[in-house]
Amino acid sequence: MSLESTYHVQIRATAYSRDHNMRILNTMAARAIPLVPRSLIRKISRRYIAGETLFDARARIDVLHAAGFRTTVDVLGETASSSDQAESMARDYLNLVQELGVENEPTELSIKLTALGLHLDESACVTRVSMILRAAALQGISACIDMENISCTQKTLDAFLKLEADGYPVGIALQSYLVRTNDDIVPLQARKSRMRICKGIYAEANEHLVNGASKDRAAINAHFVRHVTSAIEAGSFVGIATHDADLIDTLTDWLERERIDRSRFEFQMLLGVCEPLRDALLAQGFNVRVYVPYGHDWYGYSTRRIKENPRIAGYILAAMLRSPLAR
Ligand SMILES: Cc1cc2nc3c(=O)[nH]c(=O)nc-3n(C[C@H](O)[C@H](O)[C@H](O)COP(=O)(O)OP(=O)(O)OC[C@H]3O[C@@H](n4cnc5c(N)ncnc54)[C@H](O)[C@@H]3O)c2cc1C
């Protein structure tokens, strides 16, 4: 074996062992979350969630807009278990639109279809979303349909295609960790649909994932780059939703090399995550949109995310250790 290949084997072995140790730590942290006092989760989640009320959201959005960011606003909510619950969520979005529309700012809505009844009655869900999008469009506000777990993927695509065909200004999130995205993106590119490309947050079975492995970061990133570049080349507007600095470097290199106009894409990041990276992109003149979740379901949102992706438990655990509140 040459010196070079021995060196590569050693690097891979070290990286494997580091990833393996991180996974064990993160899984332990995820299991420990129910033991963490609710008050502490609440304090930590303040960084990631704008607050419980429309007033809280408005205040956070104003600060972001004043700093030059765009926003996309998500009303936190559980999967609707009754049509009343879905209707209540639709009303929350309509109130949000009314509040946002007053000054017609650089904002959009992020919408989870399950909160609007996707699993109860697809057609009623689409009717509710249409109502929200119509009200939003009147105020010059667009929307993005979030992508949820694999049980929702096809229904979400179907609903999106209908809403888009009806002429609403709407985009859809696609997950680069899913094999099926390779096919799902093709008709969307042909239509120049507006897209958000993200890695994907849910704990899916390996059979659905690229390379059949849940933690194959290199494969997920390669797909991410391919989806972003091919969608932009096809003429879609693309939201590049990641905090992964290497991935962002690779994409900014490509975007600059190909002289892609900055009006054809934007970077997107979650509220409270990797703020220095977000600020640096803005300072370089890129458009950056911040995902702003708010609502009463802050605990459900936080703990669900932690259970769905133990990796995030590691972030929360680190925040707990850093936070004076944890001491
Ligand atoms: C605007 C936006 C919209 C999204 N919409 C969807 C969606 O519709 N459907 C979906 O499945 N997923 C969605 N996601 C989540 C996404 O799929 C990833 O799970 C998440 O962004 C983490 O992956 P990453 O690309 O940042 O890369 P990673 O490699 O996971 O993370 C890169 C670095 O970012 C930091 N980081 C990442 N997440 C956090 C966090 N929560 N707290 C603190 N630090 C963090 C860490 O330092 C990490 O090392 C969205 C993400 C963003 C930014």
Question: How do strand 265-270 and strand 288-294 relate by DSSP bridges?
Answer: parallel
Tokens found for residue 289: 């949109």
Catalytic residue, chosen from 70, 196, 278, 289, is 196
Cβ atoms of 278 and 36 within 8 Å: the answer is no
Question: Is the CB–ligand 1 distance for residue 293 below 6 Å?
Answer: no
Return the residue whose CA atom lies nearest to atom 10 of ligand 1. Answer: 200
Tokens found for residue 182: 């390779």
Question: Is the CB–ligand 1 distance for residue 269 below 6 Å?
Answer: yes
Tokens found for residue 29: 């942290």
C-alpha angle 130/118/135, rounded to 5°?
Answer: 20
What pLDDT is attached to residue 6?
A: 35
Higher pLDDT, 298 or 153: 153
The residue written with tokens 């094999």 in the block is 179
Same domain, 279 and 321: no
User: Is 305 inside a domain boundary?
Assistant: no
Average pLDDT, rounded, for the chain: 86
Domain count, the chain: 2
Q: Distance between CA 135 and CA 101 in Å, rounded?
A: 9
Q: Distance between CA 293 and CA 197 in Å, rounded?
A: 18
Mean pLDDT of 2-11: 36
Question: Is the CB–ligand 1 distance for residue 26 below 6 Å?
Answer: no
**Closest ligand 1 atom to Cα of 200:** 17
**Helix 310-322 to helix 3-32 angle, to the nearest 10 degrees?**
80
Same domain, 7 and 147: no
Question: Is the CB–ligand 1 distance for residue 243 below 6 Å?
Answer: yes
User: Is 283 inside a domain boundary?
Assistant: yes
Return the residue whose CA atom lies nearest to atom 47 of ligand 1. Answer: 274
> Is the pLDDT confidence value at 311 over 90?
no
Return the residue whose CA atom lies nearest to atom 44 of ligand 1. Answer: 273
What pLDDT is attached to residue 212?
A: 83
Q: Would you call 146 a catalytic residue per the annotation?
A: yes
Same domain, 185 and 80: yes
Q: What is the whole-number distance in angstroms between the Cα of residue 38 and the centre of ligand 1?
A: 23
User: Is 307 inside a domain boundary?
Assistant: no
Same domain, 98 and 24: no
pTM for this model (two decimals): 0.88
Q: Which of 94, 118, 133, 107 minimizes the C-alpha distance to 289?
A: 107
Return the residue whose CA atom lies nearest to atom 5 of ligand 1. Answer: 146
What pLDDT is attached to residue 324?
A: 47
What pLDDT is attached to residue 84?
A: 97
Same domain, 227 and 268: yes
Cβ atoms of 169 and 138 within 8 Å: the answer is no
Q: What is the whole-number distance in angstroms between the Cα of residue 123 and the centre of ligand 1?
A: 30
If you write DSSP's letter for every residue of 62-83 in order, what string do you get?
HHHHHTT-EEEEEE--PPPSSH
> Is the pLDDT confidence value at 4 over 60?
no
> What domain range includes position 172?
50-294
Question: Is the CB–ligand 1 distance for residue 244 below 6 Å?
Answer: yes
Q: What pLDDT band is residue 1 in, cutting at 50, 70 and 90?
A: very low
- Ranked by mean pLDDT, the top range of 19-23, 31-35, 144-148, 316-320 is 144-148
Give residue-wise pLDDT tens across range 152-162. Answer: 999 999 999 99
> Is the pLDDT confidence value at 143 over 50?
yes
What pLDDT is attached to residue 9?
A: 37
Give residue-wise pLDDT tens across range 246-269. Answer: 999 999 999 999 999 999 999 999
User: Is 137 inside a domain boundary?
Assistant: yes
Three-state DSSP class for 211?
helix
Higher pLDDT, 325 or 65: 65
Distances (CA, A) of 277 to 27, 163, 175, 176: 27, 34, 22, 21
> Is the pLDDT confidence value at 303 over 90?
no
Q: What pLDDT band is residue 42 in, cutting at 50, 70 and 90?
A: confident
Q: What pLDDT band is residue 11 in, cutting at 50, 70 and 90?
A: very low
Same domain, 272 and 317: no
What pLDDT is attached to residue 41?
A: 73
What pLDDT is attached to residue 256?
A: 97
Exposed, middle or buried by CB within 10 Å (0-12, 13-18, 19+), for 123? exposed
Question: Is the CB–ligand 1 distance for residue 277 below 6 Å?
Answer: no
CATH of the domain at 132: 3.20.20.220
Q: What is the whole-number distance in angstroms between the Cα of residue 316 and the centre of ligand 1?
A: 13
Q: Would you call 279 a catalytic residue per the annotation?
A: no
- For 16-49, b/e burial (b = at least 16 CB within 10 A) is eeeeeeeeebbeebbeebeebeeeebeebbeebb
User: Is 72 inside a domain boundary?
Assistant: yes
> Is the pLDDT confidence value at 207 over 50?
yes
Distances (CA, A) of 143 to 108, 188, 225, 293: 5, 16, 23, 14
What pLDDT is attached to residue 12?
A: 41
If you write DSSP's letter for every residue of 255-306 in order, what string do you get?
HHHTT--GGGEEEEEETTSSHHHHHHHHHTT--EEEEEEESSTHHHHHHHHH
Return the residue whose CA atom lies nearest to atom 29 of ligand 1. Answer: 244
Catalytic residue, chosen from 70, 146, 184, 194, is 146
